[in-house]
Amino acid sequence: MAALAALLADRTRAAICIALLDGGTWTAGELAEYAGVAPSTATEHLNLLVAGGLLAEERRGRRRHVRLAGSDTAEILENLAGLAPYRRVRIRSLAEANHRRALHHARTCYDHIAGALGVAIAEAMTERGLLGREHGLELTDAGTAWLVALGIEGGGHASTHRAHVRTCLDWTSRRQHLSGAVGAALYRHALEHRWVIRAPASRILAVTEAGRVAFRARLGLSDEVLTPTPAAPPARDRAEVSPRRPG
């Protein structure tokens, strides 16, 4: 854990890992541009992250592509982000404020739904008896039947060795959202049925009208939870409390 903390203590390496939480594969050049560093500097950081087991890489011709090593890595990163100290971030425009509100409301965390929407889904499933904690966090029989009724094959049981039900500490609210095989299955289902749509080149998710109907009917989520609150125009001297990480 100390070695992991040392790797992520560097702002550039942390920014690279946060970018890769979108679940995609990035080139070294794209990550250098995202982190605002020279390509040679990005390469040095990528070498350390690959050697540390956080990233996996592949070569496509002369280009180097990297991604997170897996879902377990993504969950570790999100949990560590949830423990990070908060600081005040200057909000300089209404567009920036609305972007941050949308990111806090609903976003991807590798292959599952995070943000206020992800937290609300996990809490609603627990309140309705779909998730239980009798033997640690688990999907109940009612939860399995609920997933099957949605059309999720096998009730969300993965064919891999991945943990069936897990949670991540959400960095925007410091409450838990659903991850693991069940969280991934729900996200895929929501995308396929257009309950949510993903903003281009972003982790931000928007809940569609079909999604609002489905989440209300299936989990009793309120319109307040399903719709991000528009940001107020930022005052010249106004700052917003935010985690110490890029949006």
Cβ proximity of 138 and 129 under 8 Å: no
Q: Which CATH class is domain 2-69?
A: mainly alpha
The pLDDT-based confidence of 233 (bands split at 50, 70, 90) is low
User: 113 - beta bridge partners?
Assistant: 108
Q: In b/e form, how buried is each residue of 53-90, taking b as 16+ CB within 10 angstroms? A: ebbeeeeeeeebbbbbbebebbbbbbbbbbeeeeeebe
Residue 121 to residues 115, 127, 147, 165, Cα–Cα distance (Å): 10, 10, 13, 13
Cβ proximity of 120 and 212 under 8 Å: no
Percentage of residues of the chain with pLDDT beyond 70: 82
User: Whose structure tokens read 């999907």?
Assistant: 139
Contacts of 133 (CB under 8 A, 6+ apart): none
Instruction: Give whichever of 85-94, 99-108, 223-232 has the largest mean pLDDT.
Output: 99-108
Whether pLDDT at 239 is above 50: no
Rounded to a whole number of angstroms, the distance between the first and last alpha carbons of the chain is 25
Dihedral sign, Cα of residue 96, residue 23, residue 73, residue 186: positive
Average pLDDT along the chain: 84
Note the pTM of the prediction, 2 decimals. 0.76
Q: Which of 40-44, 220-224, 242-246 has the lowest mean pLDDT?
A: 242-246
pLDDT digits over 29-58, tens only? 999 999 999 999 999 999 999 999 999 999
* Residues written for the chain: 247
pLDDT digits over 69-94, tens only? 988 888 888 777 665 544 554 556 66
Query: What value does the mean pLDDT take over residues 88-117?
Result: 80
Query: What value does the mean pLDDT take over residues 102-111?
Result: 90
Cβ proximity of 116 and 104 under 8 Å: yes
Give 86 or 186, the one with higher predicted confidence: 186
Domain ranges of the chain: 2-69, 91-226
